Structure 1
Amino acid sequence: MLMDVITAHDSTDVTVVLPVGVRDLLPRDLPACTWSGSATHLRHVERELARAAVGEADYLAVCTPVDLPVAIGGIDYQVSEGAGTLWQLAVLPALRSRGLGTLLVRAAEQRIRNRGLPRAELAVEENNPRARALYERLGYAVYGRKPDAWDEEGPDGSIRRYETMCLLLGRDL
């Protein structure tokens, strides 16, 4: 398990340091991950955990000392030959810009290396400059673009199709 700390500051100049660790996401974690997406999204994550159980993917969680996930993300080994593809990376909104995304990506890259694969890839929506800046800071470079689409659950429980254009980024490990 990788360990790191997150530091938060508030307006009274109080600093809080919290150790975190990285481990596999487990089905029992899903109720604590509602911040990461809708019920439909969590059902999809649950299906991906089944793929992880048979080695097709990994799904990681950055957890607090009380073992609550505050960042999650997957690595798919079936998308691109010779690479692990990072996807569904998410950080608890209140803890963004605290290094958790960096920790999650670096842990995912280590998993990819452990499989003997030389490359990590991911897709980021063109309209998400904050995430793109993180990935580029971590050494990822754009090598293409592609449309993507998925079903999203609205607040009223309705399902709508979300379509977007993604940049494809990669990094040799």
Structure 2
Amino acid sequence: MDGVVLALSARDLVPDDLAACTWSGSALHLDSVAAQLARARLGAVDYLAICPPSGLPVAIGGVDYSVREGAGTLWQLAVHPALQSCGIGSFLIGAAEQRIRSRGLGWAELAVEESNPRARALYERLGYVAYDRRPDGWDELAPDGSVRRYETMCTVLRRQLA
């Protein structure tokens, strides 16, 4: 059986895209993404959309340039659940790394939840190496509509960019 080849492009995520990104998280998460788009307009971050020819985002993710000097920190990476394991996450990371290089920075970093070995395996396949651990947390919506704090432990990985 032959596979389907999908032409993808990377572009800046814009506020009008958010309605098509409900697959990436709750309304609270999308509020956070909207806040990051305001930071993108100031140049503090890049927020990318990976799109097929339709122009609708099938993956999104940010690069923050204020976390560590000389590095871009990838975060809020998400691929549409129905399209995972199709190479789109690798495409997203490659596009984010290109943005980091275009700013003259030599390192890409990211943190992955220790409960997510599948994502960590992807990052390691792409050349990321673990060098630290740290707790992380964020607010999320509970099924009853209340906001609760989610706490987790993350492994921090980095990759030197050529």
Question: How far apart in 2 are the matches of 1:65 and 1:107?
Answer: 17
1:68 aligned onto 2:56 = yes
Question: How far apart in 2 are the matches of 1:136 and 1:74?
Answer: 19
User: Which residue pairs with 1:129 in the alignment?
Assistant: 117
The CA RMSD measured in Å over matched residues stands at 0.9
Question: How far apart in 1 are the matches of 2:93 and 2:2?
Answer: 28
User: Which of 37, 52, 58 matches 1:49?
Assistant: 37
Q: 1:8-62 deviations in whole A, cap 9, x for unaligned?
A: xxxxx46333211111101000000000000000000000000000100000010
Consecutive unaligned residues in structure 1, runs of 5 or more: 1-12
Question: How far apart in 2 are the matches of 1:155 and 1:19?
Answer: 37
Q: 1:123-155 deviations in whole A, cap 9, x for unaligned?
A: 000010000000000000000000001101123
Consecutive unaligned residues in structure 2, runs of 5 or more: none
User: Which of 33, 42, 65 matches 1:77?
Assistant: 65
1:150 aligned onto 2:138 = yes
Instruction: Tell which deviates more after alignment, 147-156 or 85-94.
Output: 147-156
Instruction: Tell which deviates more after alignment, 124-133 or 146-155.
Output: 146-155
> How many Å apart are 1:66 and its aligned residue?
1.1
1:31 aligned onto 2:19 = yes
User: One-letter code of the match for 1:152?
Assistant: E
Question: How far apart in 1 are the matches of 2:6 and 2:160?
Answer: 31
Question: How far apart in 2 are the matches of 1:96 and 1:166?
Answer: 21
Question: How far apart in 2 are the matches of 1:118 and 1:20?
Answer: 25
> How many Å apart are 1:156 and its aligned residue?
2.8
User: Which residue pairs with 1:88 in the alignment?
Assistant: 76
Count of residue pairs the alignment pairs up: 161
User: One-letter code of the match for 2:127?
Assistant: G
Name whichever structure is richer in strand by fraction.
1
Q: Where has structure 1 moved over 4 Å in runs of 4 or more?
A: none
TM-score by length of 2: 0.97
User: Which residue pairs with 2:160 in the alignment?
Assistant: 172
> How many Å apart are 1:64 and its aligned residue?
1.5
SS in structure 2 of the partner of residue 33 of structure 1 = helix
Q: 1:64 to 1:156 in 2, by over 3 A?
A: farther
User: Which residue pairs with 1:22 in the alignment?
Assistant: 10
Identical residues among aligned pairs (%): 68
1:109 aligned onto 2:97 = yes
Instruction: Tell which deviates more after alignment, 40-49 or 15-24.
Output: 15-24
Question: How far apart in 2 are the matches of 1:83 and 1:52?
Answer: 16
